Each structure stands twice: as C-alpha cells, then as structure tokens.
A and B are shown apart, each in its own frame.
Chain A
Amino acid sequence: MKLSKKNTELINKIRDEWLEIAQSGKDITIKDVEQGVTDLYALDNRKKPAIFILNDPFESQYLANLLSKHSSVNYPEFDSQFDDQIDSQIETHILSQIESHTNSQIHSQIHSQIYSQIYSQIHSQIHVYIDSRLGPCSIQVCNFHPFTGGRGQRTTSGIPSRISSLIYLQAQEQYNYGTYPFGGLLLRAGFLAEYEYYIKSGIINLTYKQKQLFIQHINLFKSGVWDMFVFENDCIITKTPKIKRDHKTRLHSLTSKAVEFRSGFGFYAIHGVVFNEELWYNVKDRKLTPEQLLSMKNTDQRFVAMNHYGFENIIDGLDKKLIDKSKYGNELYSVQFDKVELKFLSYPDIDNPAKKRISFVDPILESASDAMAWKHNCTEEEYHKMEILKIWK
C-alpha cells in the first residue's frame, strides 16, 4: 500500500497537532483531565483518585516521592488493561494489514519525528536535574505508560532523608535545568499520534468499545497532561511546558528559556545545546570576547556560541593556515578546531570587491577555485568558464 496524498496530509496534520499540544504550554483543561483520570481508573475497576495538578516536573517528582513514602504500593494496572484491550489489537491489525515498509514509513513520519523532537531532546535534561536534586530514591513510582510495551515503573534506591523543604527551595532557586524520570506527552505523544492516524485513516478498525476507550485516552492527554504519576488513591498531573525551537527543530531560544514550565522551571538552549543562565545571557548578548569564546571548555557550547557570534567575526583569533589563493583573490584556509579540520574561503564580494566575505566549505576541498565552484554548485571547469567572472580579468 502506497501512502496517498490524502494519507500524507492526515499524517502531517495529526503529527503537528500532537507536537503543538506537547509544546505550546497551553493550560490544562481541568474538566477533561478529571474525566480522563476517572475513566482511566475505572478501567482498572478503581474509584476516582485525588488529583494533583502541578506546574512542573520537579514539583511532581517531589510530591510523587512523598506520596510513595506514605502510600501503599498497590499501583493500578492500567498498562496491562490497555495492552489487553487496545494495544495488542492495534499491533495485530498493523502487522496483518500493512506492509512493513509502509508501516516503517508511517512510523518514521509520525512517531519518530515526535519522539526525537519531544523525548530525545528534553528527557535527559530534566532527568539529570531531578536526579541531581532529589537523589536516588528507594521507592517504586509507577508512571503510566500505555503502548510502550512495558509498565513505567521506576525502581530506585531510597528517598534520602536529606530531602527537606530547604533542599527543595534551594533546588527551586537553581531552576536552570529540569528533569523527569519518564515522559508523559514527552513519551506517549508519538505512539498515540501514530495509533490515532491508523484509526482515523480507517487502516485498522477497532470495536466501538475499543474506539471509545482510545478516544477517552487521547482526550486525556490532549487536555494538556505533560506527565502523570499514578498511585492507588492519588494521581499527579504535570502541566505542559512551552518549548521553542530553531528551523531544524532543535531546542533554541535567544529571548527566553527554550523549555519553560508554568512555574518558570526549565532550561536555556541555543541550537540544541543547553547553557546555564549566566552563560546563555553572555553568549546571546555577545558579551564574551573572542578569547573568552575560544577558551570555553564545552565543545558543543563553544561551536554554538561561535556560530552565534558569526565565525567571520572571530576568525582572526583562530590559528589559520593559507592553503591556496586563486587569481580572483579567493583564499582557502584550513583551521584546526578541537582536532577537527575546518576549511573556509575568504573572498572579495563580486559586487563590492573591497568587502571580504567568509564562508566555510567542505573540508575535502583542496583549492580555492574548486571550493568556490563547490559553493556555486558547479565543477571547477564550469566555474572558470563563467561569464560573470570576466569582470575580474
């Protein structure tokens, strides 16, 4: 089965809708959350729990740790219920009705894109922060993961006695990074979006009851649930953050935190690289000298910072070596940067020869003319024949 234009449009629509839900920072719809959680617990023949709606993952993790300390370890079995009633049905349909390459195509266009944009880029940042602040815990926090093939149970080693309000406040004051052990929309959005596509496109058909169950479930997460911890009598919900990206979908903002929860909890990033607050301000406002930039210890941060400054503005600070110069005044340089060889062209602007331009080129290139030909998508021979270059002669 080949995906039609209509199918592709539906894939894009569903994918973008889930990304928007997970990134927009929209406030939660309490009525929908209450209904969704009630339905979820009813699925496992449980009564509606007390619902805590919190602003960021740190608060949620902290409360989850406290509740776990005082709560029985009788966690709801939502995952197995879903597995029995929906997940296995969907997977069976997919395997029997869709060719593997089409399945892979759909998976890569929906799940993989959402997963890479939401989970991969954000999870580890939050994870590192919370673990560093709350330490390893001796509790099992059940974090609900339908459709992931496993119960999201976290086994760690001990709520430390040092967790106190003082530590909590100190951690809050250092709100530069955030973390969370498991993602909500962070982890589920990809699977849910993919299954929503299969159902909406009519590729697979569920029974009325299964469909209702699925709709109830996605409505819960579409109401703005970033993550949830589920206990026997309590359910902790975290609201979604606002997430900003560059044109290549990397976490990025030069005006505020790239990931920011409603409490202010979040972190700064430039083109996918995370910075602490002070360094982020210094880089984005270009307050560092070229020498300070070049002495930054973190390679990723240094690359991104140099890119933000403009390589051409700091090139004089680099130890560059002239490789070749053409008759048109184009100069090809090599520069060693953290054991990586970069090459750049320094060349006169063809419309304003007094002005020098800088442009990085493929490091395999050996001559200035071939590098300029590469820049202009032609061979060196074609480059030398260009009419436009006759003005140099």
Chain B
Amino acid sequence: MEMSITVMQYVTFQGDVDIRSIKNIPSSAILLDTKTVMHGEATGHHHTFSDGQVLVYEPHENDTVSVRGEDVKVQKYILVLSDATLTHQEHASQVIPKGNYAILQEREWDVLENQIRRVID
C-alpha cells in the first residue's frame, strides 16, 4: 500500500539523516527491535537513540513523504514517546522532542544518473 503523508513542522538532520515530523505513522509500518535508525554503509557508524523512549518502525517499501512537491522515500519511522537523544560516532548528539517522525536520506544530485548519456537502451 502506497502512503502519502502530509508533512508537519519539526525538521532537523544529523549527518546524512534527515528527520521530519509527521502526523501519524501508518499502520502498515513494522515495529523493529532496535534503537538504531540508520547504519553507515562504508564506515559502520550508526545513528542510534541512547536514551528516552523511542520506537523504530520499518516502512512499507513504497512509503513516501511529500516534500517540495516531490515524493521522498521514507527510510524509517520513529515514535518518540519522551524526549530522546540521537547519537552518532562523528556527529553532535541531538535531542529529538516527543512526536512522530519520518527518517529520510539526505539528497545529492546524481551527476552520473542525470547527466550521462544512458548506456542502457
């Protein structure tokens, strides 16, 4: 089931992880047994809540949030029940206030993908 979620106000980021408040976490999301919201592919570093009450959810593979008129894929959902600290080995810790959030991946313009003549027909 594809979800399109109305975006609310609170936004922040930690490294390449973007955090946006949302109204509700869809019922199709699956609760995970972890406090980690993202792992670094190359470094092994991770964005993890060290305190507070936080539930981390896996979204349906087609879940998106609408930002700037574009649908952006949701990486995780988090439900922060009480203010919680998000930590990372290389980035400053941040306190995330109580609320529902979508975790998004920081964007970068893919020069290869967008500029190169496509080799595949």
Contact = CB atoms under 8 A, between A and B. Distances in A.
B33 interface: no
Contact of B11 (A307, A343, A351, A382): A382
Contacts of A100: none
29 contacts: A116-B120, A116-B121, A120-B121, A121-B120, A250-B119, A251-B119, A272-B119, A273-B119, A300-B116, A300-B119, A303-B112, A304-B116, A307-B111, A311-B111, A351-B90, A351-B91, A359-B108, A360-B109, A360-B110, A361-B108, A362-B109, A376-B11, A376-B13, A382-B11, A385-B11, A386-B11, A386-B13, A387-B12, A387-B94
Nearest to B117: A300
Interface string A350-393: 11000000011111000000000111111100110111100000
Interface in A180-198: none
Interface of B: 9, 11-15, 18, 20, 65, 67-68, 72, 90-92, 94, 104, 106-113, 115-117, 119-121
Contact of B106 (A271, A342, A343, A375): A375
B120 A250 contact: yes
Nearest to A274: B119
Contacts of B65: 377
Contacts of A108: none
Contacts, number: 92
Contacts of A363: 109
A388 B13 contact: yes
Given A120-B120, A376-B106, A388-B12, A340 B115 contact: yes
Contacts of A304: 112, 116
Task: Identify whether the interface residues of A are mostly helix, strand, loop, or mixed.
Answer: mixed
Interface residues of A, number: 39
B18 A376 contact: yes
Interface of A: 116, 120-121, 248, 250-251, 271-273, 299-300, 303-304, 307, 311, 337, 340, 342-343, 350-351, 359-363, 373-379, 382-383, 385-388
Contacts of B12: 386-388
B68 A379 contact: yes
A311 B112 CA distance: 11
B18 A360 contact: no
B112 A375 contact: no
